[in-house]
Amino acid sequence: MAGRLENRTAIVTGSTRGIGAGIARRFAQEGANVVVSGRSETEGRAVADEITNSPSPGEATFVPVDVREPDSVDSLVEATADRYGTIEVVVNNAAVQTETGVSDASLEDWAFVVETDFRGYWLTVKSALEHLPEGGSIVNVSSNHAGATMPNTFPYNAVKAGINGMTRAMAVELGPIGIRANTVNPGWIEVERTRAELEGERYESLEEIHPLGRIGQPADVAGVAAFLASDDAAFVTGSSLLVDGGRTAVMEDETFLTYSNDA
């Protein structure tokens, strides 16, 4: 339904590309004033310009932010409040990842991931709280790595599990003042990084082990984020919604492939 976020202002961190950009586009289509934010001014302004210059234009602006820096986060929030007056929705999506494991991750790897993917979520909500009204919504983007993972994705996988816990803490503490907090846990989503990693047969093989027969698109995540930000989810808080095409539901790939091929 178009218009579910009419007259609301949403900050979307990490929205210069990928899932975050998809969420920014969807929110604008739903009527929100969208603040695109991230470290790349060139990419961020391109997303905002695309929204404002589309055939059905929405309202969007770009504000740079490095969520690892508290002053930068505060500047993002204040710039948003100065431009639009209020902030009804915060979407935490900024994320980085290292190809490291428990045994070889360095303190620098730890700080890079934890400060961006975890502490940055808390800092953004903490800074925005004075502007969030009753009925406000926080959407934290996590990952299916929160529940099942692979080697050499540490500390990214640990942080994603932590985000789910952070969301529950926010839901419990902010619910009494009318603010909801929920998590979206995407699985394999086709963005710039995954396109570079997946070629030919590997892409096809990955699609086959998803019950829905494909990997996701940013729009798949954006639709769920829009629902959680809207009044359609007015009684939903503290939840964690998987958006993974059924991938996490599969216990054993070969058994599933045999079944799906026979179906």
Structure tokens at 230: 């809207």
Order across the sheet with 89-92: list the strands: 59-64, 33-38, 9-12, 89-92, 137-141, 180-186, 240-243
pTM, 2 dp = 0.94
| Secondary-structure class of domain 9-197+217-250 per CATH | alpha beta
Q: What is the pLDDT of residues 230-252, one digit of tens each?
A: 999 999 999 999 999 999 999 88
Mean pLDDT of the chain: 94
Q: Report the distance separating Cα 21 and Cα 43, nearest Å.
A: 10
Torsion over CA of 50, 28, 17 and 138, rounded to 10 degrees? Answer: 160
Asked if 112 and 98 count as a contact pair (C-beta separation under 8 A), the reply is: yes
Write down the catalytic residue from 84, 121, 156, 203.
Answer: 156
213 burial (CB, 10 Å; 0-12 / 13-18 / 19+) is exposed
Report CA 207 to chain centroid distance, whole Å: 22
The pair of structure tokens assigned to 143 is 């990952």
| DSSP-H helix ranges across the chain | 18-29, 41-52, 70-84, 107-114, 120-128, 156-174, 192-197, 200-208, 218-229, 253-262
Six token digits for residue 175: 């619910």
Question: Among 60, 17, 62, which residue's Cα sits nearest to residue 37?
Answer: 62
Question: Quick check: 196 pLDDT over 80?
Answer: no
What is the C-alpha to C-alpha distance for residues 138 and 124, in angstroms, rounded to an integer? 10
Cβ contacts of residue 158 below 8 Å, gap of 6+? none
Q: Which two tokens stand for residue 112?
A: 């890079």
Cα–Cα distance for residue pair 83/247, rounded to 1 Å: 41
Distance CA 102, CA 185 (A): 22
Q: What pLDDT digit, counting tens, does each position of 146-167 carry?
A: 998 999 999 999 999 999 999 9
Whether 211 shows a pLDDT value over 80: the answer reads yes
User: Higher confidence at residue 2 or residue 136?
Assistant: 136
**156 among known catalytic residues:** yes
Domain boundaries, the chain: 9-197+217-250
| Percent of the chain topping pLDDT 90 | 86
Q: How many CB atoms lie within 10 A of CB 49?
A: 14
The tokens for 225 are 């984020």
